[in-house]
Chain A
């Protein structure tokens, strides 16, 4: 039986952690993820978990401690945001290439500068090449559900990769919403025990982790890691299918909303999807064939699935909540557009960078995007492929 409750995204993730009872939590606080270890510290103090709770001196150390614990054969977790994730950068790559299935909760927050504590994806997008699996939540329920699925995905034998469970800083991490929690026993049964084949504390199996890989080995190691990331697609779907059978909530690599006959579509991630769905509903009521694709999994990138979902549309706007400074669009657009390159028939596509550093994204903004797509279809003119939305601007013709 599910339990009705109302929690913030951070408390939902901390609750999932309590239910899973990981072996090691190496923590260092940073806004807006701080509440996750804060709630968890209370569970430790109250004896509700028997996790080794390590307070370390930096994020570089928290992830390093997780690596050591995971290599020793433990389930290791941590949480971070923004500059904390950036400070982990070096270790993220080592953890991924060492194939250690650490679960890292990220309350996504802008990177400096100017210094800002609010939400966008500049932190997690900067780590898109780190080798971590990345799953993004639209709301508190998804943050909780994604977390319950994380360990099994990461620990899948032909995957064995670390995973980031991302939620939108403050918007999801701090807003309290209704949520359906699952019983502790049901969660423990779903997640299961961690039984790694090789680990440092296994007496009969001496183990060395992270050896030097000269040029005679590095290429092969990277190919193996790339194949593991490809395997993660299947593992994510397998775990989601079991999650649906067990708890009744359905997840995929992407979520298609009103896409069957959509002519105009938005592709985006995270909490903005809820806002844009409201716009889709309003426009559908007016007879506009609007649809939406929410990208739940960013690593591995579900390029074929997104391309398939939007292939029949006339115009598509990709909404990027991080400015990659490529000078020609954000990362979600670059990857979405590149995966459409070989479609027989493909929509006109534009990129709109929005919501940086906590800038609001409203139903009205989403409707303006659809109006622009209508105009593209009516005139056949794409206009600027890459633009920004929501900023104060002297130019009149921007969104």
Chain B
């Protein structure tokens, strides 16, 4: 339909006439708009005091949910972390706890 409809304008309230043809998406990086954090059944918790900033966890994260800024990891992106637990396994220093979601 509309020629370069923005992904943020495609939602579950719009009528079929306003979908793009074939549900095409005309911009990159739109998965950020989908909050997958609610899929979690367990949650990684970062313990900054134990963390040596070795940065092994960040490249292991399959959802790019461990932001790295100025050469240091920061708090988890919990909007997109699906709770796979790979970072918890990858951390050699026990700086990531693996907890139940309550």
Contact = CB atoms under 8 A, between A and B. Distances in A.
Interface of A: 97-100, 160, 197-198, 205-211, 213, 216-217, 219-221, 223-224, 227
Given A220-B15, A220-B16, A221-B16, A207 B23 contact: no
A211 B25 contact: yes
Contacts of B25: 207-208, 211
A160 to B, nearest CB: 6
B27 A224 contact: no
A206 B30 CA distance: 11
A224 B26 contact: no
Contacts of A198: 21, 24, 26
Nearest to B16: A220
Nearest to B14: A220
Contact of A197 (B3, B14, B15, B30): B3
Given A197-B3, A217-B12, A221-B16, A208 B22 contact: no
Interface string B2-20: 0110000000101111010
Interface string B47-62: 0000000000000000
A227 B24 CA distance: 17
A99 B26 contact: no
A205 B4 contact: yes
A217 B27 contact: no
Nearest to A218: B23
B26 A213 contact: no
Contacts of B71: none
B22 A206 contact: no
Contact of B21 (A160, A206, A208, A223): A160
A220 to B, nearest CB: 4
A44 B101 CA distance: 61
A209 B22 contact: yes
8 contacts: A97-B22, A160-B22, A197-B3, A205-B26, A208-B28, A211-B23, A220-B16, A224-B21
Contact of A206 (B15, B16, B27): B27
Contacts of A213: 23
Q: Which of A100, A211, A216 has the most CB of B within 10 A?
A: A211
Nearest to B21: A99
Nearest to A222: B16
A116 to B, nearest CB: 36
B21 to A, nearest CB: 5
Given A99-B21, A205-B4, A223 B16 contact: yes
Given A205-B4, A206-B27, A208-B30, A98 B16 contact: no
Nearest to A208: B25
Given A98-B22, A220-B16, 12 more contacts: A97-B22, A100-B22, A160-B22, A198-B24, A205-B4, A207-B25, A213-B23, A220-B14, A220-B15, A220-B19, A223-B16, A224-B16
Nearest to B25: A208
B69 to A, nearest CB: 26
Nearest to A216: B12
Nearest to A226: B16
Contacts of B19: 217, 220-221, 224
A206 B3 CA distance: 13
Contacts of B17: 224
A-B pairs with lowest CB-CB distance, top 10: A99-B22, A220-B16, A216-B12, A208-B25, A223-B16, A206-B28, A98-B22, A224-B16, A99-B21, A211-B23
A122 to B, nearest CB: 29
A98 B27 CA distance: 17
B23 A221 contact: yes
A217 B3 contact: no
A217 B23 contact: yes
B30 to A, nearest CB: 7
A295 to B, nearest CB: 28
Q: Which of B15, B22, B27 has the most CB of A within 10 A?
A: B22
Contacts of A205: 4, 26
A29 B32 CA distance: 43
Contacts of B4: 205
A206 B4 CA distance: 10
Contacts of A209: 22, 24
